[in-house]
A and B are shown apart, each in its own frame.
Chain A
Amino acid sequence: MEPICAFDRLVPGRGVAALLADGAQVALFRLYDDSLHAVANRDPFTGANVLSRGLVGDRGGEPVVVSPLLKQAFSLKTGECLDDPDVALEVYAVEVQDGVIRVGARSEAEVAA
């Protein structure tokens, strides 16, 4: 798990981009319930690293981030694109330790898929 930044640095309902040691870009979100989610920052539809700047919310209860470019919604839990089941984002493990957010490797479930 790599330390990223202080938890308080994140605004509820908004994301930030983080650069991992291996060069991967991660979009990190803090929701209103203070839960944290991390998915790949790269928008698979355009190739731009922008998902951290998308709006978050829910679709039918599923927490999502919406691409700021072409507005597809992605599940923050599974990374799945709700508008195109053939497309999914990588999901990263995320935790808070001593007030610092840490992001891990891609989650087990995602690697298995």
Chain B
Amino acid sequence: MSKLVVIGDGMVGRRFLEAVAQRDPSWDVTVLCEEPRPAYDRVRLSAFFDGVSAEELSLASDLDGVEVRLGEAATEVDRDAKVVRSATGEYPYDKLVFATGSYAFVPPVEGADLPGVFVYRTIEDLEGIKAHADGRRHGTVIGGGLLGLEAANALKLLGLEVQIVEFAPWLMARQLDEAGGGVLKQHIESLGIGVDCGTGGTKIEAVDGRLRMDTNREGVAYDTDLIIFAAGVRPRDQLARECGIEVGERGGIITDLGLRTSDPDVYAIGEVAAVEGVCYGLVAPGYAMAEVVADRLAGGEATFPGADMSTKLKLLGVDVAQFGAFDGPLATTYLDPANGTYAKLVLSDDAQTLLGGMLVGDAEPYPLLRASVGGKVPGTLADLLGGGEVEGALPDGAQVCSCNAVTKGEIMGAIHEGCHDVAEIKSCTKAGTSCGSCIPMLKQLLAEGGVEVSKAVCEHFTQSRAELFDIVKVTGITTFSELIARHGTGSGCDLCKPAVASILASLSNGHILDGEQAALQDTNDHFLANMQRNGTYSVVPRIPGGEITPDKLIVIGQVAKEFDLYTKITGGQRIDMFGARVEDLPKIWRKLVDAGFESGHAYGKALRTVKSCVGTDWCRYGVQDSVKMAIDLELRYRGLRSPHKLKSAVSGCARECAEARGKDFGVIATEHGWNLYVGGNGGFTPRHADLLLSDVDSETLVRTIDRFLMFYISTADRLQRTSKWVEGLEGGLDYLRSVIVDDRLGICDDLDAMMAKHVANYADEWKGVIDDPEKLQRFVSFVNAPETPDPSIEFEEVRGQKFPAGSTERSRPVLLGTPVIRSSQGK
């Protein structure tokens, strides 16, 4: 079997391994990986600070015939013996591939090796930055390019004040012209980040436990706690140099278009390759190189097709895009300083052909513009930026996903073959699976392909839940019959009635069983308990935060005994009592209310529980009072009706014993306050919640959760959990943050007022029934025989408690491990 050795396990190296496995799996492959972990998604590296773990960034996959040697750096290539050596081994090769990538460039500044000075390249770098930032105040980033802005964002997420120092005269000088850089600067400064362009660091020294950086500008020095060099990268070509392979003047292993180096048995791919002298610092061209070499190893003749260096990014919440040519014979520009938008199109000298351009602040037209490079200009900038209709659909050959080189034609093909949502397109075509910037375009193509995702609530309302919510809010309609008469058809059903009941409950007050509302409630809401398989109910007294006194525990035991109920501890830190007959419910509630309980929402589209760990009260690790916070949150949001159930938890430290990240809104204590995570859930498709805010005080935390919940309740679809809702927001988590933290839509006051109204008007719903004879009379077994219990309900006893009769196999004894004895002679 022929031996292939790959040096480096990065994104491109990993893509190469997959391509080889696909095209010619007969290679015996050894990968030498200097880092202690296998390939990970470096493009999304900064997500590490958004709470995404190293594991989640991993691109590792098991490939047959591939041995990845982690933490083992190649130290020497002996081309005569055709062998690669490491400190511990020797690996002979028939073909060798350099996929060593780049290293972070640190300019020759005195003191750049001091503790507290970092680069921004690997997960280890980020872990170091995070550890050092803890408890510190100020960070400085050297470099105002793409990487520098990412690093600045990371420091901001870590709660530091941030200063950017850039040597070039404006930000992102490789992608933007001076005007674009200026608009970007304005955006970034508005976030409270300092920007100093045209300045370079000259010397770093440690002063009183902090760092001081002198600059080339007289009298300008920065006192800071942490410095990140993000001043570009250089190809890691040292090993190739040492073994005599030709390298470029400015670094990089020189290859031809087939990615062959000066040694015909050695290839180079990714950022280390200088294809005909040019290095490419993006992942997409690297992937193309990986495919070329895989093809050649399988006997093909593929050549590198050149690269589209277009980029679209969201940096610090600002959209920035550059595509095609940077400059050209003609240009048309659009500048709106008030809204922070800048756009420039580069045109041919007859102004007919689009050659390239850049966008800052509004990158909506990017997919269309990029795909139009080389063709007709698709519209005027004013139209393109105004969100107006633009004539001329994309040609089929236009590349929609540049990371994975997927064209519009391929995506439309997949749609016609039955892909009906973005997730299916992703799995069929790989489009949208890397950077995700083309996902809005995928949605547009779905619509273009005639795939219409109906959001209608049911056959009686063509509107979505969010639209009905707006209708009710604006018109002030308070009854279902008026709503369906004016905005729907027919008499309603089990889909629209509870949805409207929930909307009415969110927008108005009063008991959910008052008047006509009673007829809309799902059976559990109607009887304020959970119906079980035999028609009896379970009752789950509210135990906010899971904290309960011994006296109250005894009351639960007494109630369960008196009404002969099966008891079980739930996953939500409560005690569930099963087998209650409908006519017993009010009596059970009376006992609970008298003992200071209320029954709880273990049912319905409402807040269920807020779990907690024991926090600082008892735990030796706790850093905040998680129990008190959980109780406060549960009492604040109890009774809140929502598009789907809501769960929450509060953990008192990073050990996360309350499993808060599996909740719709989860809170984790930090030394400085609280981190808020949103959009998690368990269930069929478990999902971890994403970090929305870090290190905030209790007041900010609660205010943000208020707004999160009310924005969700106002805009989500029926039965859409918070995770899907956040994913479905155009702009996702960043957009959500801009709405409920930065008040981008100017609706925060409204959201706050809605929640204030909910909190002020909450009343114990169960007590509301037992105090109201009219409501009470619904809780009977038979309208004409209220004293007769339903005779069809029977129980049997198993493990000392009652179960619905005949419900289970439990009643039969199960024999465990009875040995089967056979004669050894056999028959």
Q: Do A and B bind each other?
A: yes
Indicate whether B498 reaches chain A with its CB closer than 8 angstroms.
Answer: yes
Docked CA distance A59–B793 (Å):
31
Residue interface bits A9-26, CB-to-B below 8 A is 1, else 0:
101111011110001010
- The answer to the question of A34 belonging to the interface, with a C-beta cut-off of 8 Å to chain B, is no
A88 contacts the other chain (CB 8 A): no
CB pair A66 B783 closer than 8 Å: no
Contact of B490 with A57 in the complex, beta carbons under 8 Å: yes
Distance (Å) between the CB of B526 and the closest chain A CB?
7
Give the complex CA separation of A46 and B523 in angstroms: 16
**Residues of chain A from 19 to 68 with CB closer than 8 A to chain B in the complex:** 19, 23, 25, 28, 31-32, 42, 46-50, 53-61, 63-64, 66, 68
On whether the beta carbons of B790 and A60 are closer than 8 Å, the reply is no
Q: If A11-B518, A60-B459 touch, does A31 touch B491 (CB 8 Å cutoff)?
A: yes
Complex Cα–Cα for A16 and B519 (A): 12
- Give complex CA distance A43, B410 in Å: 50
Are B533 and A14 within 8 A (Cβ)?
Answer: no
**Inter-chain contact A19/B519, CB cutoff 8 Å:** no
Residues of chain B from 501 to 540 with CB closer than 8 A to chain A in the complex: 516, 518-520, 522-524, 526-527, 531, 533-535
Residue among A47, A54, A60, A64 having the largest count of chain B Cβ atoms under 10 Å: A47
Q: How far is the CB of A9 from chain B (nearest CB, A)?
A: 6
Q: Select from chain B the residue with minimum beta-carbon distance to A5.
A: B783
For the complex formed, measure the closest distance between the CB of B74 and the CB atoms of chain A, giving whole angstroms: 62
Q: Which residue of B lies closest to A43 (CB)?
A: B535
* Distance between Cα atoms of A42 and B534 in the complex (Å): 10
**Residues of B contacting A16 in the complex (Cβ-Cβ under 8 angstroms):** 778, 780, 782-783
Give the shortest distance, in Å, between A6 (CB) and chain B (any CB). Answer: 9
Chain A residues near B582: list those with CB within 8 A.
Answer: 53
Determine the distance from Cα of A5 to Cα of B490 in the docked complex, in whole angstroms.
28
Say yes or no: A68 contacts B781, CB within 8 Å: no
Expressed in whole angstroms, the Cα–Cα distance for A36 and B307 within the complex equals: 73
Q: For the complex, what is the distance from the CA of A12 to the CA of B491, rounded to whole Å?
A: 12
How far apart are the CA atoms of A72 and B524 in the complex, in Å?
Answer: 16
Contact B498 A55 (CB under 8 A): yes
B92 interface residue, CB < 8 Å from A? no
Asked if B61 is at the interface of the complex by the 8 Å CB criterion, the answer is no
Q: Which of A3, A18, A58 contacts B493 (CB 8 A)?
A: A58
Is B671's beta carbon under 8 Å from chain A? no
Give chain B nearest CB distance to A70 CB in angstroms: 9
Query: Would you call B535 and A61 a contact (CB within 8 A)?
Result: no
Query: A4 contacts the other chain (Cβ, under 8 Å)?
Result: yes
Interface presence of A77 (CB below 8 A): no
A53 in contact with B490 given A4-B784, A5-B783 (CB within 8 Å): no
| B785 on interface, CB distance cutoff 8 Å | yes
Please determine whether B527 and A57 come into contact, CB atoms closer than 8 angstroms. Answer: no
Q: Is the CB of A48 within 8 A of B533?
A: yes
B187 at the interface (CB under 8 A from A): no
**B contact residues around A4 at 8 Å (CB):** 783-784
B526 and A53 form a contact (CB under 8 A):
yes
Could you tell me which residues of chain B, from 781 to 806, have a CB within 8 Å of some CB in chain A?
781-785, 788, 790-793
Chain B residues with Cβ under 8 A from A50's Cβ? 523, 531, 535
Judged by a CB distance under 8 angstroms, whether B427 is at the interface is no
With A4-B783, A14-B519, A17-B781 as known contacts, state yes or no: A58 contacts B790, CB within 8 Å: no
Task: Count residues of B near A (Cβ-Cβ below 8 Å).
Answer: 38
CB-CB under 8 A from B534, the residues of chain A are: 46-48
Are the C-beta atoms of B497 and A69 separated by less than 8 Å?
no
Residue-wise interface mask of B (521-562) relative to A, using a CB-CB cutoff of 8 A (1 in contact, 0 not): 011101100010111000000000000000000000000000
Q: Which of B519, B523, B783 contacts A9 (CB 8 A)?
A: B783
Bound complex: CA A48 to CA B519 (Å): 21
Bound-state CA distance A4–B780 (Å) is 14
Query: Which residues of the other chain, B, contact A11 by a CB distance below 8 angstroms?
Result: 518-519, 778
| CB contact between A58 and one of B492, B519, B780 (< 8 Å): that residue | B492
Q: Which residue of A lies closest to B533 (CB)?
A: A46
B490 touches A49 (CB 8 A): no
Chain B 445-460 interface 0/1 with A at a Cβ cutoff of 8 Å (1 = within): 0000000000000011
Q: Taking CB as reference atom, which chain B residue is nearest A9?
A: B783
The residue in chain A whose Cβ has the minimal distance to the Cβ of B492 is A57
Q: Does B122 contact A (CB under 8 A)?
A: no
Within 8 Å CB of A68, what residues of B? 522-524, 531
- Give the distance to chain A from B482, nearest Cβ to Cβ, in Å: 12
The winner among B490, B498, B535, B793 for most chain A CB atoms within 10 A is: B535
Contact (Cβ within 8 A) A59 B783: no
Q: B494 at interface (Cβ–Cβ under 8 A)?
A: yes
Whether B459 lies near A59 (C-beta < 8 A) is yes
**Neighbouring A residues of B781 by C-beta, 8 Å:** 17, 19
Interface-centre pick from A31, A55, A58 (highest chain B CB count, 10 A): A55
| Cβ contact of A12, chosen from B493, B494, B519, B783, cutoff 8 A | B519
Cross-interface CB contact of A59 among B493, B782, B790, cutoff 8 Å: B493
Q: Are B784 and A57 in contact (CB under 8 A)?
A: no
Residues of A within 8 A of B523 (CB): 50, 53-55, 68
Question: Do A55 and B490 form a contact, CB below 8 Å, given A19-B784, A19-B788, A50-B531?
Answer: no
Q: Are A25 and B792 in contact (CB under 8 A)?
A: yes
Inter-chain CA distance A71–B781, complex, in Å, is 21
B493 near A66 with CB under 8 A, answer yes
Q: Could you tell me the distance between the alpha carbons of A109 and B456 in the complex, rounded to whole angstroms?
A: 37
Interchain nearest-CB distance for B765 vs A (Å): 17
Are B531 and A19 interface neighbours, CB within 8 A? no
B216 beta carbon closer than 8 Å to chain A: no
Distance of A58 Cα from B491 Cα, bound (Å): 6
CB distance from A3 to the nearest CB of B (A): 8
Looking at the complex, which one of A5, A19, A49, A69 makes contact with B533 (CB distance below 8 Å)? A69
Q: Which residues of A contact B784 (CB under 8 A)?
A: 3-5, 18-19
Q: How far is the CA of A52 from the CA of B382 in the complex (A)?
A: 61
Neighbouring A residues of B490 by C-beta, 8 Å: 57-58, 61
The docked-state distance in angstroms from the alpha carbon of A17 to that of B491 is 22
Provide the B769-784 mask, 1 if CB < 8 A to any CB of A, else 0: 0000000011011111
Residue interface mask B483-500, A partner, CB < 8 A = 1: 000000011111011100
In Å, the complex CA distance between A59 and B458 comes to: 10
Contacts of B533 in A (CB 8 A): 46, 48, 69
Which one of B498, B518, B535 lies within 8 Å of A14 (CB-CB)? B518
Cβ contacts under 8 Å, A56 to chain B: 491, 519
Among all A-B residue pairs, the 5 with the closest Cβ atoms? A13-B519, A68-B523, A57-B493, A48-B535, A16-B783
Contacts A18-B784, A58-B460 supplied; 4 other A-B pairs, CB < 8 Å: A16-B783, A17-B783, A49-B793, A54-B494
Give 5 A-B contacts (CB < 8 Å), ordered by A residue.
Answer: A17-B790, A18-B782, A18-B784, A58-B492, A68-B523
